[in-house]
A = this chain, B = another copy of it.
Amino acid sequence: MTMKFSKRMERMQASEIRELLKLTQKPEIISFAGGLPAPELFPVEELAKLAEDVLKSEGRQLLQYATTEGRPSLRKKIADRMLAKYNTKVNPDEILITTGSQQCLDFAGKLFLDPGDVVLCESPSYLGALNAFNAYEPNFVEVPTDDGGLIPEELDKILSTTERCKFIYVIPDFQNPTGRTWSMERRTKFMEVVNKHNLPVLEDNPYGELRFEGEILPSLKSMDTKGLVMFLGTFSKIFCPGLRLGWVAAEPDVVSEFVKIKQSADLHTSNFDQGLADAYIDNYDLDAHVEQIKALYKHRRDVIVESMEKMMPEGVQWTHPEGGLFLWLTFPQGVSAAQVFMKCIEKNVAGVTGDAFFPNGKTDRNMRINYSNMPDEKIVEGIRRMSEAIKESM
């Protein structure tokens, strides 16, 4: 029996990353393809103790249905943290807790997009966001970027000539896939452009706190004077992803629409998991925990960049992320990332080919490399193998 599905399903393929990941999951493969946090830093012992405590003290409430908006005391903590870390003032009422920040991407698509509407994004951009928006049948317009991030003048040109632009999706800090961060100047200019065009902004910030060098830059939301910016945050990278805790912070009349969508989508996020994160922040030092993560990832970034400098063949370029989990390889003209990928698999090493991150004009010269999830010796050996694969593809 073949069922007749909706038109959108023709566009929704299983995430290419996940399909490729299947190739990369043989145990002998050293994989830079994923995006997993380092599990050795998960606060397992602390959570084991807290889980017992919170269930004993408020178990009947934590295991019951709860409000769609999320646990009030956790929303308060998120508001406090956004102020402390990103100089971003939001009221706890302006925060909706979601089942990971991935859920906010789906909700944003649902909230804004009719078929044929335009979503703007950095070129390249996060594949998981593109897939989420895709379900609502938009057209994508890619905004050119350089090492400093999105180029505001290009955005201005596009907005002056493009109809039905509903929102722009951006990751200004340690972007996925490139690892790039927008400068302060770019942020200011970007806000001028979106203000001029009244363009809603989806600011995705999963990695912002994981800055190894320099100071955290203000969020776009903190610079927003017209209520245009929706800020997406997550506990996945500063705490642990398995609990699926994210949030969106936006103007009250926008958050209330997100709440309606959430109500129909899954009623509310796991109340127990919310209580657990809340109790962790009450009882332990999340800032100190984040410092540990930063120290480890900085070290791994240093190891990987050093290995690349030593071993990568002439002509291969890579970004130098000041934080986050990813860097971005660019191969010389004429070298195909798809070919490199297959050579890599032969040599038991893997990254993700860059083409999936460009919603329209595919390029075949990039690879995304994750460095957060692997001990030093594996990083060095993996880069050795990958360098060989690239050499053989040149």
Cross-interface CB contact of A6 among B47, B112, B243, cutoff 8 Å: B112
Which are the 7 A-B pairs with shortest beta-carbon distances?
A44-B59, A51-B51, A63-B240, A242-B271, A48-B55, A39-B60, A63-B242
- Cβ contact within 8 Å between B39 and A61: yes
| With A12-B264, A39-B60 already in contact, 11 other A-B pairs whose C-beta atoms are closer than 8 Å | A6-B112, A48-B55, A63-B242, A98-B266, A103-B265, A106-B266, A110-B135, A132-B264, A242-B271, A243-B272, A270-B270
Q: Chain A residues in contact with chain B, CB under 8 A? A: 1, 3-9, 12-15, 18, 35-37, 39-40, 42, 44-45, 47-49, 51-52, 55-56, 59-66, 68, 98-100, 102-103, 105-106, 110-114, 117, 128, 131-132, 134-136, 166, 198, 200, 226-228, 236, 240-244, 251, 254, 256-257, 259-261, 263-273
A131 to B59, CA, bound (A): 30
Q: Which residue of B lies closest to A106 (CB)?
A: B265
- Cβ contact within 8 Å between B42 and A51: no
Chain B residues within an 8 Å CB radius of A7: 114
Cross-interface CB contact of A64 among B1, B36, B62, B100, cutoff 8 Å: B36
Q: Which residue of B lies closest to A42 (CB)?
A: B63
- Cβ contact within 8 Å between B257 and A1: no
Chain B residues within an 8 Å CB radius of A271: 242-244
Chain B residues within an 8 Å CB radius of A44: 55-56, 59-60, 63
Cross-interface CB contact of A1 among B39, B228, B263, cutoff 8 Å: B228
A117 to B268, CA, bound (A): 28
Q: Which residue of B lies closest to A224 (CB)?
A: B1
- Cβ contact within 8 Å between B267 and A102: yes
- Cβ contact within 8 Å between A65 and B102: no
CB-CB under 8 A for A48 and B59, given A135-B110, A242-B65: yes
CB-CB under 8 A for A265 and B64, given A112-B5, A136-B6: no
Chain B nearest CB from A378 CB (Å) reads: 17
A8 to B59, CA, bound (A): 37
Chain B residues within an 8 Å CB radius of A56: 44-45, 48
Chain B nearest CB from A340 CB (Å) reads: 25
A9 to B257, CA, bound (A): 8
A13 to B256, CA, bound (A): 10
A59 to B48, CA, bound (A): 8
Q: Which residue of B lies closest to A276 (CB)?
A: B272
Chain B nearest CB from A244 CB (Å) reads: 5
Q: Which residue of B lies closest to A40 (CB)?
A: B60
The contact sample of 28 A-B pairs, CB cut-off 8 A, is A1-B226, A3-B254, A6-B110, A6-B136, A6-B166, A9-B260, A14-B256, A15-B263, A15-B264, A39-B60, A40-B60, A44-B59, A44-B60, A49-B52, A51-B51, A52-B52, A63-B243, A64-B240, A64-B242, A65-B242, A100-B266, A103-B266, A105-B264, A106-B264, A132-B264, A243-B271, A243-B272, A270-B270
A103 to B106, CA, bound (A): 13
A128 to B267, CA, bound (A): 9
Chain B residues within an 8 Å CB radius of A111: 5-6, 9
Cross-interface CB contact of A257 among B5, B131, B266, cutoff 8 Å: B5
- Cβ contact within 8 Å between A266 and B244: yes
Chain B residues within an 8 Å CB radius of A135: 110, 261, 264
Q: Which residue of B lies closest to A4 (CB)?
A: B166
- Cβ contact within 8 Å between B65 and A12: no
- Cβ contact within 8 Å between B64 and A47: no
A19 to B244, CA, bound (A): 27
Cross-interface CB contact of A259 among B6, B14, B100, B228, cutoff 8 Å: B14
- Cβ contact within 8 Å between A128 and B266: no
Chain B residues within an 8 Å CB radius of A240: 63-64
A346 to B271, CA, bound (A): 32
